[in-house]
Amino acid sequence: MKKVVLGTLLIALVSSTSAFAQGGAATGAATGAVGGAIVGGPAGAAVGATVGAVAGGISDETRPRFRTYVSGQKHSSYRYDREVRIGADLPSSGVTYYEVPREYGVTKYRYTVVNDRTVLVDPGTHRIIEVID
């Protein structure tokens, strides 16, 4: 039983991370639920959905408001000579990182504007974890 639960959590975490990279809490919850259900049945689906939703970054519902908020801040855009994509590592210097206001639900990450695109960044690694389009 412990192996099933542990396997469910592992699948849910991996599924939620991939979902997180693609599109927010709703997608993370759905993908986590599917991954959890495959390994652990109904209980696994519930665990997977919860883990997937928590790892979702800016939620699908608040994404439009967040884009409007960032554009209103008029931050200058950092010029990056590589593709702006999830998983890309930004430099630790030369880029200005801003706190995400609590109303958007994400306080662990920072945001910045790169090549005129808003991105969420892990402040510890400077890795892009979500592109807000």
Q: What is the pLDDT of residues 76-113, one digit of tens each?
A: 999 999 999 999 999 989 999 999 999 998 789 999 99
Residues 4 and 30 in one domain: yes
Helical H runs in the chain? 2-54, 63-73
Domain total for the chain? 2
Distance, CA of 114 to CA of 13 (rounded, Å):
28
Residues 31 and 84 in one domain: no
Q: Which of 56, 71, 102 is the last residue of a domain?
A: 56
Of 125, 18, 127, nearest to 80 (Cα)?
127
Residues 46 and 78 in one domain: no
Helix (H, G, I), strand (E, B) or coil at 44: helix
> How does residue 45 score in pLDDT terms, banded at 50, 70 and 90?
low
Cα angle: 80, vertex 64, 118; to 5 degrees:
10
Residues 8 and 37 in one domain: yes
The pLDDT of residue 128 is above 90: yes
Helix (H, G, I), strand (E, B) or coil at 84: coil
Q: 83: domain range?
A: 63-132
Q: What is the pLDDT of residue 15?
A: 44
